Amino acid sequence: MYVYDLDRVREARADLVAAVPEGAQLLYSLKANPHPDLVGELLAGGCHAEVSSTGELSTALAAGAVPAEVFYTGPGKTAEELEIAVRAGVGTFSCESLVDLQRVAAAARECDREVDVVLRVNGAEAPGGAGMRMTGEASQFGTDVEILMGRRAELAGVRGVRLAGFHFFPLTNVYDEQSLLDEMTGSVRTAAALAGELGIEVRVLDLGGGFACPFAKEGERPRYPGLRAPLTAALDEHFPRWRATTRVLFESGRHLVGDSGVLLCTVSDVKDSRGTRFAVLDTGINHLGGLSGIGRLLPLAAAVLPVGSGDAEETAPGKIRLVGPLCTPADTLGRGAADVSAHVRVGQILAIPNVGAYGPTASLIGFLGRPAAAEIVVSDGDVVTASRLVLVREPVAPHTTSRQENTMETTPWDARYPKVLAEVLPRLGSSVGPDDNLRAAGLDSLALVDLLVRLEEAYDVTIPDDDLDPEAFATPASLWQVVEAALARTR
């Protein structure tokens, strides 16, 4: 069971606001933890949402994000997701490559819009050493600064987008303040040079993040008291009018939510094998650190702390392995210290600290079909919500393209129908097309029930279950036929 404390989230946000230049804006990266209550808390506190998928977009919108303030980032965006995001009114897109830029522009034109884009830059310098590097060397992220230089005419000629500035995210999980500062001031310099070369008036400058937090081990979230003044000076030097002309953004996931979460688990079995004691927990890489389980990250070395004052066993050996309930040796959460092994007995509750970021949704949630961990949110000492994620299988809808949409000259329904659809599926945006993909817009089984109830109320009809084969709710047009059939029965 995860427990997230919103008080810690509020503290982390306030600390980070105080660390970055006054007047800058914080974005919350939903990838760290898309739990609606955490997202809602950070939005209410003044953060804007940074999303990298339509799933994250719909979570952000449902949690109260204003579409025009959403920042849509990430590599490999598809034409379909971009159309959904543009229709939903997303304000700014970060483009990872020139292909990505063309795709964002095409989606904007398809929807008769113009959107702001920032170019994600892979800088040439890599001054900040520490942390997990994402750009500053050969990278799948961003466009190399030397590729962007000299493309002024080509970039200016892209219709459907307004080039609004630049996006940097070179490092993550950086404890060393000087490294972070060097990297960010380097980004400011690069942005100024690029702006001059490409003739871009920088209205948006996203300097990224990299703000750290311990993961699954004890420790304090670092503070960055020495960042604000020199970074403000760098902005003043390279963009003297930035306060009036430029939204300066910083992004953070783990630093904002990491220390808000603890994973509580219970020891299901304790067994000794050839000198090693194994504690089998009721949590594993299906709940925490799935990426390390499959070898994509360093092995997890979770610290576990006994909860409550259980008696220490006299005979406990020093070595203990903390393993999960999955049928693979990869399901190892760590090796507990000797003081933990003394407490480990069947039924003992243990706590893994600092797991508010990259917890359930970064884990192997479907592997072996065990339930996802419960997620409990507390605020001011009271429980706010208790829920868990559920994986649902659904039929895949036939693929439709926006070109097919445009061949439909008229929409067959009345004015109420698209409004009801958009209430339940905000990702459809204001102009609902007959062949829009309802599942891609978020129509899962819960949304379906909600939609049916609203349609029955709006049209004062009953829609029999027999009318609801999966094809019926593939598109607005197919679902409208069901509504029409129900209406015909009332005449």
Binding site for ligand PLP (CB under 6 A): 29, 31-32, 50, 73, 134, 169, 172-173, 209, 211, 251-255, 357
Q: How far is the CB of 394 from ligand PLP (least distance, A)?
A: 28
Residue number with the smallest Cβ distance to ligand PLP = 253
Among residues 89 and 209, whose Cβ is nearest to ligand PLP? 209
Q: How far is the CB of 234 from ligand PLP (least distance, A)?
A: 21
Among residues 358 and 459, whose Cβ is nearest to ligand PLP? 358
Among residues 30 and 302, whose Cβ is nearest to ligand PLP? 30
Q: How far is the CB of 135 from ligand PLP (least distance, A)?
A: 10
Among residues 21 and 429, whose Cβ is nearest to ligand PLP? 21
Q: How far is the CB of 97 from ligand PLP (least distance, A)?
A: 14
Among residues 205 and 420, whose Cβ is nearest to ligand PLP? 205
Q: How far is the CB of 31 from ligand PLP (least distance, A)?
A: 6
Among residues 77 and 439, whose Cβ is nearest to ligand PLP? 77
Q: How far is the CB of 412 from ligand PLP (least distance, A)?
A: 42
Q: Which residues contact 158 (CB under 8 A, 6 or more apart)?
A: 101, 102, 105
Q: How far is the CB of 3 from ligand PLP (least distance, A)?
A: 20
Among residues 37 and 96, whose Cβ is nearest to ligand PLP? 96
